[in-house]
Amino acid sequence: MDNPAKLSILQLMKVDSDIIIVGGGLNGCILALALASGGVSVTLIDTLPNDTRQLAEFDGRSYALALTSKRLLSALSIWPGITEHAQPMLEIKVTDGRAGEGPSPFWMHFDHREIEEGPMGYMIEDRHLRRALLQSIEQDPKITHLAPETVVAQSVNRTTASVTLDSGRSLTSHLLVGCDGRTSSTAQRAGIKRSFKDYNQTAVVAAIGHEKPHNGIAHQFFMPAGPLAILPLTGNRSSIVWAESHARAAELTTMNDDAFIQALRPAFGDFLSDLHVAGARFSYPLNLTLADALIADRLALLGDAAHGVHPIAGQGLNQGLRDVGALAEVIVDAKRRGEDIGAPDILERYATWRRFDVTTLAWATDGFNHLFSNDNPILRVGRDIGMGLINSIPALRRGFIREAAGLTGDVPRLLQGRAL
Ligand SMILES: Cc1cc2nc3c(=O)[nH]c(=O)nc-3n(C[C@H](O)[C@H](O)[C@H](O)COP(=O)(O)OP(=O)(O)OC[C@H]3O[C@@H](n4cnc5c(N)ncnc54)[C@H](O)[C@@H]3O)c2cc1C
């Protein structure tokens, strides 16, 4: 039963918007659009200017979006604007590799034809996705976008959550959402601690052009220093994510294009024939950072602010988008029922929904990285046998494909492609 007294107090409280989102990265932007689609008013704040975040060279990553993440973007009407830039991922081949020696005979092969839903995911470049999101945000009357502005302080009381910006301005809402990335100051200010592990690896990311078509096949080679992923982009191009020691990554990022292709070749192999560099090189130091709690008083954490993981499985953003789907559904349903959207029991619904998933993924990616970024002969035999086994059992293979497509577990409405 609703408590009319509680509701009337809340209705009397003057707020600038229902929710304040700190951080307009991909997760913050998509959360703002999801909440707005359900009639929730949002203030979205980011340190960086809108124009900077829309530059093609702002972020060199390309994302392997799971099928359910694509469905979420379709439900929010973002997908039609970027579909021409999206490359369907039809197969994934995972190989234990050693530079110069080619693939080992033990490998795993996942083919989308083993499930009925179509491609298991899509590759999309950051420059297309981020720009489409920021443009949709500018047109949405339910979203106030403040950038550049930095949140420097926050406070909560019985009915509201407030922030102070570095410009001196203060804003009030019923709920604060921290989407401010791996070092989330929103979490720190709320006293939420986090586990941290440095992988001593840096990912070098670049677009590579090649002579032969990739046929929508993604490859993952496990090398002793770290994995090399070759991910299909539109046209005869692939995005590589190459994890190496910090020192080697610094060399790879700064050497000239010809030297880079020569350095890449022994790991990449010849299967796509001639290679050339098709864009700038970017580097990302890799670590694990996992918040001890997803919620606090009138605060929820989401995306990398809650769980920043190794890109080995290409799942960081996909998990963030599951957070988005779950939190937006909980909040929009609560608002429709006239409940206080920042109340502890509402936030607990979100935390209960997501806690198991985010913790499991964080430690699973950590375990994979340890198992595969390693030349220990015993581990090598063990993982080769494991890969051979998985590959030979169709039910296990299908399980992996459904997991990569995001089809397992309690899937939020938006990730099923349904409106809120
Ligand atoms: C090499 C690499 C490859 C990857 N590939 C994949 C992939 O294929 N598939 C996949 O699913 N995931 C992938 N990921 C993971 C994915 O990139 C991240 O999970 C995702 O980008 C995180 O987005 P976010 O919005 O949570 O955080 P961020 O991108 O870190 O955004 C945080 C935002 O908060 C802002 N901010 C911070 N503090 C404040 C403040 N005080 N006030 C206002 N604003 C603030 C920042 O300016 C920033 O814009 C990859 C990651 C790496 C490193």
Low-confidence ranges of the chain (pLDDT < 50): 1-2, 4-5, 8, 12, 99-100, 102
**Strands 19-22 vs 143-146: parallel, antiparallel or unpaired:** unpaired
**Strands 143-146 vs 151-156: parallel, antiparallel or unpaired:** unpaired
Q: Is the Cβ atom of 181 under 6 angstroms away from ligand 1?
A: yes
Tokens of 228: 């090399």
Q: Which atom of ligand 1 is nearest to the CA of 286?
A: 53
Q: What is the pLDDT of residue 85?
A: 98
Residue nearest (by alpha carbon) to ligand 1 atom 20? 317
Q: Is the Cβ atom of 60 under 6 angstroms away from ligand 1?
A: no
CATH class belonging to 4-93+123-197+286-372+410-416 = alpha beta
Tokens of 249: 């990554």
Residue nearest (by alpha carbon) to ligand 1 atom 2? 311
Q: Is the Cβ atom of 282 under 6 angstroms away from ligand 1?
A: no
Backbone angles phi, psi at 44, to 5 degrees: -110, 125
Instruction: Give 241's contacts (C-beta < 8 A, 6+ positions apart).
Output: 61, 203, 204, 205, 227, 228, 229, 231, 311
| 204 CA from centroid of ligand 1 (Å) | 16
Q: What is the pLDDT of residue 22?
A: 98
Question: pLDDT digits over 271-324, tens only?
Answer: 999 999 999 999 999 999 999 999 999 999 999 999 999 998 889 999 999 999
Q: What is the pLDDT of residue 400?
A: 83
Identify which of 317, 354, 403, 415 to mutate to test ligand 1's pocket (most ligand atoms within 8 A of the CB).
317
Q: Is the Cβ atom of 184 under 6 angstroms away from ligand 1?
A: no
Q: What is the pLDDT of residue 2?
A: 45
Backbone angles phi, psi at 26, to 5 degrees: -60, -45
Q: Is the Cβ atom of 316 under 6 angstroms away from ligand 1?
A: yes
Q: Is the Cβ atom of 318 under 6 angstroms away from ligand 1?
A: yes
CA–CA dist 287, 21 (Å, integer) = 24
Q: What is the pLDDT of residue 403?
A: 86
Q: What is the pLDDT of residue 382?
A: 76
> pTM (2 decimals)?
0.94
Question: pLDDT digits over 297-310, tens only?
Answer: 999 999 999 999 99
